[in-house]
Structure 1
Amino acid sequence: MRSDVESSPVGEGLGQRDFWLYVWLRRAAVIAAHVTGLGLTLIISLLSRPGTSLFSWHPVCMSVAALVLIAAATGLGFMVASKNVSELPHLVTWHSLLGICTLAATVLQAACGICVIFPKLLRPSSSPPRLKLYHATCGLVVYLLATATVVSAMFSYWFQAMVKGVAWWAFLLLPLFLALVVMNQITNAYLPRKKITS
């Protein structure tokens, strides 16, 4: 009888048939999340009709911001310019406050990522495995904040004028589905697994 301690793999305790079903369902969820994320970005970009106003560039840049930090800063710039032209106050909605928090967390996550890539050059006080955990945790926080920001945008006058009825509910649920898949991937990949004895 072995008494050493080992990590328990995901899906342990399932029968062979159940395990393969679990693996294929996970793969299907990951593919669906990628397709949904890309589709949501494209649809929001089409709905905003970029170029029709300063504001029209804000949803485009911010929906692409999951791919590039520069797009997020550009989207923020268009929103600030649009508010200035319209003489409207800044940071007065949940959407804007969540957006600023998301951008701040994204900068922190990018900084952790740079430390992970160049540990010898920057000489951070934490070990590389711990930095990877911080980077992944910040990434999860960024994604959850971004999801909350996108969901709060769906309650804006602009979005409710563009999308109505059942489609609005579908748009509301899509980011939540994506968040569940991403949370599952990050926690399975980076969080310490439960130790078992055999």
Structure 2
Amino acid sequence: MTDSSLSQSEPAPRPGHVGSGGSARPANMALTAETESRLYRSLRVASGAAAHLVALGFPAAVAVLARPGSSLFSWHPLLMALAFSFLMTEALLIFSPETSLLRSFSRKVRVRVHWALQLLALLCALLGLAIITYNKHLNGKGHFVTWHGLTGLLAVLYAGGQCAGGVLLLYPKLMKNWTLAKLKLYHATSGLVGYLLGCASLMLGMCSLWFTTTVTGVSWYLAMLCPLVTSLVIMNQVSNAYLYRKRSQH
């Protein structure tokens, strides 16, 4: 049998079949990786948009329930919701590569806005803490005797320390033995801990007598989901930006 007859009898390669060169498999793997990357990015965009809506919607709902101005206590839940649900969440979402409202601005501008929002969050939290402390004093009730009260106090104190520690990022030369990359890593991870403390305080507050008598049934479960959703989004953002990247460098 001649060489020409052999070449004519060989079947043509099927589409997608891996030949001796093995070029189809890497192409398919690359296509799959690209599809997964697009899907993952779409999920992050959707979850980030949900976090923006929850960050604003939760304090708005609390304002309707508390009716600020109706009593001294009514300001406490609103101020705490503004601090830990709206201001602090937006301060962190500013650095989201997918859903930041200031994506078109420089990092320097985003850092300044982050600082402003964090300081406003701390101010609201301090006012909320002062109001509930004074209200309990007027009513002769004990201070910080519940898990909600203790967690809230810890969250406010932690937020104050976090803001003070953030000064080191503005003046990194003050820490000569620390690189700027390490300072950013520690600030981000410690900030995540503080944010989770704030969200935990909100969730414990929704177990209080005031909230459970006002909000019941499915509405209560939906309210509990709000800080949980924002916590998961922020955790994913910080992990992707710092923790996973740091692990991949080793």
Same fold (TM over 0.5): yes
Q: Write out aligned runs for 1:1-198 (5 A).
A: 14-66=32-84, 67=87, 68-120=121-173, 122-123=174-175, 125-193=177-245, 194-195=247-248
Runs of 4+ with >4 A deviation:
none
CA contact (8 A) 1:48 1:59 kept: yes
- Checking the alignment, whether the CA contact within 8 Å between 1:154 and 1:160 is kept in structure 2 is yes
Deviations 1:143-183 (A, max 9, x none): 11111111101110100111111000111122111111110
Residue of structure 2 in register with 1:5 after alignment: none
Taking structure 1 as reference, are residues 44 and 13 closer, same or farther at Cα in structure 2, changes over 3 Å only?
farther
Cα deviations by residue, 1:72-121 (Å, 9 ceiling, x for unpaired)? 1111111011101111000100000000111121112112211101223x
Aligned-pair CA distance for 1:13: 9.3
1:14 CA displacement? 4.8
Q: What is the SS of the residue equivalent to 2:71?
A: coil
Q: Distance in 2 between matches of 1:23 and 1:175?
A: 22
TM-score (norm 2): 0.69
Deviation at 1:126, TM superposition (A): 2.5
Which one has a bigger Cα radius of gyration?
2
Choose between structure 1 and 2 for higher RCO, CA contacts under 8 A separated by at least 6 residues: 1
Moved more, 61-70 or 95-104: 61-70
Structure 1 residue 195: Cα displacement = 3.2
Aligned length: 185
Q: Secondary structure at the match of 2:61?
A: helix
What residue is the counterpart of 1:3 in the other structure?
Answer: none
The one-letter code sitting in structure 1 at the alignment partner of 2:169 is V
Q: Aligned equivalents of 1:24 and 1:192: distance in 2? A: 19
Q: Do the aligned partners of residues 86 and 171 (structure 1) sit closer, same or farther apart at CA in structure 2, a change above 3 Å counting?
A: same
Gaps of 5+ in 1: 1-11
Give the Cα–Cα distance (whole angstroms) in 2 for the partners of residues 111 and 21 of structure 1. Answer: 39
Structure 1 vs Structure 2 CA RMSD:
2.0
Unaligned runs of 5+ in 2: 1-29, 88-120
Rounded to whole Å, the distance in 2 between the matches of 1:196 and 1:113 is 25
Length-normalised TM-score, structure 1: 0.87
Give the residue type in structure 1 aligned to 2:57.
G
- Aligned residue identity for 2:70: T
Query: For residue 24 of structure 2, what is the aligned residue in structure 1?
Result: none
